[in-house]
Amino acid sequence: MRSTRLNLALESGLVAVPDGVIAVYGPDGSEDLHAFPRDQVVAVTSDYLLTQSLTAQGFKVARSAPDAALAVVCLPRAKAHAHAMLAEAAKAPMVLVDGAKTDGIEPLYKDLSKRVDVTEALSKAHGRVFAFPGTEALTEWAAQDITLPDGFTTRPGVFSADGPDPASVLLAQALPERMPGYGVDLGAGWGYLARAVLSRKSVKRLDLVETDANALDCARLNIQDERARFIWGDATKHRSDGYADFVVCNPPFHRGRQADPALGIAFIAAAAGMLAREGEAWFVANRTLPYGDAFRSHFSTVTELPGTNAYRLIRATHPLRARKAGA
């Protein structure tokens, strides 16, 4: 586990706790940051839920790191994201890198060894941890916006950065030509579904709710429409300033690296809670996920539309919670 390797790095003398800021890039909530003095740590993340959690624990959180005496990189799985993170972290005098084998830590170590003066790599708990001094040798790895067909912009690290998720494409194609009134895109990402929705002139307003601030920044670039509102927050707890006429959603089903159907179920419940009596929810999900009972628990009418072998399309109407509220 990452916490074990971070402690090993300190106990072995691979790095020492410096005076000044310790910037921790890309934590996912599984690590124990108490290995470092709390008052020195600044967690660098764009995730709303993680920001709330770490702040509640007394840690400082920022989207971009201040000048740091030590940078700690929690290696992400996506190579371009890892490179961008390392290029930024390398501005610090010393960089500590931790990652699991499944995240590509071993090939990364070999690659870095050709570019910078890395320490030995300590192995523990199916991963490695190593360090290198700050350098300008990684500037070519700095994050660059990605331009996709149809003019979409994404960035390394956002979900589906290399192109629209196939499930979102399927849902966009299934949406009706007329979607009147006020809608919500739960888990809006970088705005692929939202642009499809806003192509309907009948839409009066669309709230894009997304936990990743970087993805939401991309959505702002991708959607130049005064009907759109961009909301950084927890989609499962989002409360609109009025009942919505429709919700569109391609819900996530992973927490970190682990599949968690409960997350998608929470999105279904949230959609039902924000819809008007005659409102409708449009969902797409992996066909293997057990969402049937959740839809039936929160909606009176659940219709499965033609999908694919991989994905299920659902139109759910007459939300039960909204009915009880007298919407």
Amino acid at 285: A
156 and 129: one domain? no
Q: Which residue has the higher pLDDT, 35 or 204?
A: 204
* 119 in the same domain as 9: yes
Confidence of residue 253 (pLDDT cuts 50, 70, 90): confident
Query: Which of 141, 166, 192 is the C-terminal boundary of a domain?
Result: 141
- The answer, as to whether pTM is greater than 0.85, is yes
Residue 292: pLDDT band by 50, 70, 90 thresholds?
A: very high
pLDDT in tens, 43-95: 999 999 999 999 999 999 999 888 999 999 999 999 999 999 999 999 999 99
**Residue 188 Cα to chain centre, angstroms:** 10
- Cβ–Cβ under 8 Å, residues 109 and 126: no
Q: What percent of the chain has pLDDT over 90?
A: 86
CA–CA dist 291, 302 (Å, integer): 11
Based on the fold, state whether residues 201 and 243 are members of the same structural domain. yes
pLDDT for the residue 323 = 39
Q: What integer pLDDT is reported at residue 12 of this predicted model?
A: 94
- Domain co-membership, 85 together with 198: no
**C-alpha pair distances (Å), 234 with each of 154, 211, 284:** 21, 6, 19
**pLDDT above 70 coverage of the chain, percent:** 95
Examine the domain organization and report whether 305 and 172 are in the same domain. Answer: yes
Query: If we measure between CA atoms, which residue out of 273, 271, 268, 247 comes closest to residue 181?
Result: 247
Kindly report each contact of residues 201-209 with a partner whose C-beta sits within 8 Å and lies 24 or more positions away, as own/partner. Answer: 202/178, 203/179, 203/227, 204/180, 205/229, 206/182, 207/182, 207/183, 207/231, 207/238, 207/240, 207/244, 209/184, 209/185, 209/233, 209/235, 209/238
Identify the domain containing residue 77 by its residue range: 2-141
160 and 82 in a common domain: no
Please identify, among 74, 106, 141, the residue that sits at the C-terminal boundary of a domain: 141
DSSP summary character for residue 93: S
Q: How confident is the model at residue 261 (pLDDT cuts 50, 70, 90)?
A: confident
Q: Do residue 119 and residue 249 come from a single domain?
A: no
Domain tally for the chain?
2
d(CA 109, CA 82): 12
Domain boundary among 94, 115, 141: 141
pLDDT at 241: 82
CB-facing half-sphere around the CA of 145: CA atoms within 13 A: 14
Statement to judge: residues 12 and 123 lie in one domain: yes
CATH number at residue 40: 3.40.50.150
282 shares a domain with 134 = no
For the chain, the average pLDDT equals 93
Q: Are residues 99 and 209 in the same domain?
A: no
Query: Does residue 321 register a pLDDT over 70?
Result: no
The distance of Cα 227 from the centroid of its chain, to the nearest Å, equals 24
Based on the fold, state whether residues 64 and 192 are members of the same structural domain.
no
Do 124 and 213 belong together in one domain? no
Segment 125-151 shows an average pLDDT of 95
